[in-house]
Structure formats: C-alpha cells, structure tokens
Amino acid sequence: MSERIMRMALPLIVFACVLAVWEAVVQIGEIPAYLLPGPVLIARTLVADGPLLLASLWVTLFTAFQGFLLAAAWGTLLAILFNQSRLIEYSFYPYAVILQVTPIVAIAPLLLIYLPQHLAVLTCAWIVAFFPVLANTTLGLNSVDHNLLALFQLYKANRWQVLWQLKLPSALPQMLAGLRIAGGLSLIGAVVAEIAAGSAGAGSGLAYRIAESGYRLNIPRMFAALLLLSVAGVAIFFVLTALSHLALRRWHESAIAREI
C-alpha cells in the first residue's frame, strides 16, 4: 500500500474503531443519553436539528470571517506602519502585546457591557486573530535580504517601491503563515464571546446553541454542535492552507515537494 493511501486510510480506520467501541459501550452499558449519547444518536440529532444548527453555524462562521478579515487588514496595515516608522512601532507595539496576552475569556464579558452583542463577538474574534498577523508580517517585513535591499538602494528605489516590490513579496510566506493561524483563532474568538454572551442571555450562534443545550441537558445536540464547529475549524484551516500553497507554489520552499 502506498504511503499516501495509508496516511489517508489509517486515521479513518482509527476513527471508525473508536466510534464502534463508543457505540458498543453506550449500548451494552445502557448509558443514558443525557450522560453520554452514542455516535448513532448524535448523527440522528445532527440530521433532525440540521436546519437550526446550520443556521447557527452560519452566524458564527460569518462573525469569525468578518473578524478574520478585520484582523488580516489591520494586522497587515499596522505591521507596515511599524516597519516604516520606528516611532509608531515603539509607541504601539506594547499595547498589541497586552491585547494578545490578556485572555480573551476575561475580556469578552467586559466588551459585552459596552458593545451591542454582535459587535462584541466580532471584536473578540478580531482581537484574538489580529496578533499573529501583526507579529508574522512584522517579522517577514524585517527579514528582507540585506543585499536585495542594497540593490534597491543602488538603483535609487523610493520607499514605496521598496515596500511593494521587495518587502511585501518577501514577507508573503510569513504573512500567510500568520493568516493561517488567525483563521483558526478567529473562530475560537467568536465561540468564546458567544459563550460569554450566551450566559448573559441572548444569541443565536453555534456556541450559544452548545451553552443552551448544556442548560437543557440536551447532550446529543451539544455533541452535534461541537462536531459542526470542529468541521468548520478544519475547513477554515484547509482553505487557508490551499490559498497559501497557491500563492507560493512557484517559488517558496515550503510549497515545493522535496525531491529525493
């Protein structure tokens, strides 16, 4: 069997075995669904509650996506500003770090006081996703080949040309790595904020469904919603990985298969 097929098949086989054992334990031990639902029941719940859960998933994904876009735009823009001016970097970088190290779970309830709920959730998604974009892009912009920089200087390139034709393309691999991390984080940020908002009363995102199902001891629906969230996270990761691969495939080592 080729290694490629094995890499696809083995995790699936493990997954199937785990599901089988899980179902067997639930059936044989007659464990009630409010303690641990079996995979079959979860699948049935997923189908039955499908429209409701998908609508909620859409709300959460849309917020995460908006947060991601804001984080990508602001992270890149701020990194460029930091790169162009030491003064701006020294003035603002510490605050970006503070925003990053303060746990989002702790910020969310505060934001919910001052902002309308949708905006608070969006802000959370943005805050969490923003820093990896900023940090990676800054690193990329500062890692330009010194000789290439000297070459641009020799041909009297202006600041704008150095930025567009040298620094940004050269920072692209790091930028994309930052975006890949930010994609997953924006979903986490949105979920955390929704859970915090859920305990405050209102909401319709998927995380809110999880919290709500928890209160009502509707454990199968909790599992079904959790499953959807995982799938969404994995999908975001794959989309961003594919985009990154497309952008780098002709020239960057990370996107080129090693020839042995």
Partner 1 sequence: MDQSSPSHGSPVVSLRGVSKSYATGVQALVDFDLVVRAGEFVSFLGPSGCGKSTALRIVAGLSAATAGRVEWPNGEAPIGFVFQDPTLMPWATVEKNVALPLTLSGRDDSTAVADVLQHVGLHDFASSYPRELSGGMKMRASIARALVTGPDLLLMDEPFAALDEITRFKLNNELLGLWHESKRTVVFVTHSVFESVFLSQRIVVMTPRPGRVFTEIAIPAAYPRDENFRTSVEYADFCSQVGKALRAAIGEAG
Q: Given the rule CB under 8 A, which residues bind partner 1?
A: 145, 147-148, 150-157, 161, 165-166, 169-170, 172, 250-253, 256
Half-sphere exposure in the Cβ direction for 168 (13 Å, CA): 13
Sign of CA dihedral 192, 196, 197, 201: positive
Choose between 4 and 250: whose C-beta lies nearer to partner 1. Answer: 250
**Cα(27)–Cα(224) distance, rounded to whole angstroms?**
19
Please check whether residue 182 is in contact with residue 126, taking contact to mean a CB–CB distance below 8 angstroms.
Answer: no
Please check whether residue 37 is in contact with residue 45, taking contact to mean a CB–CB distance below 8 angstroms.
Answer: yes
Q: How far is the CB of 137 from partner 1 (least distance, A)?
A: 16
Residues sharing a CB contact under 8 Å with residue 30, sequence separation 6 or more, in sequence order: none
Choose between 91 and 153: whose C-beta lies nearer to partner 1. Answer: 153
Q: How far is the CB of 152 from partner 1 (least distance, A)?
A: 7
Ordered DSSP codes for 12-34: HHHHHHHHHHHHHHHHHTT--TT
Choose between 226 and 248: whose C-beta lies nearer to partner 1. Answer: 248
Q: How far is the CB of 243 from partner 1 (least distance, A)?
A: 16
First to last CA, the chain: 20
Q: How far is the CB of 146 from partner 1 (least distance, A)?
A: 9
Q: How far is the CB of 50 from partner 1 (least distance, A)?
A: 44
Choose between 95 and 160: whose C-beta lies nearer to partner 1. Answer: 160
Choose between 7 and 250: whose C-beta lies nearer to partner 1. Answer: 250
**Cα(188)–Cα(216) distance, rounded to whole angstroms?**
23
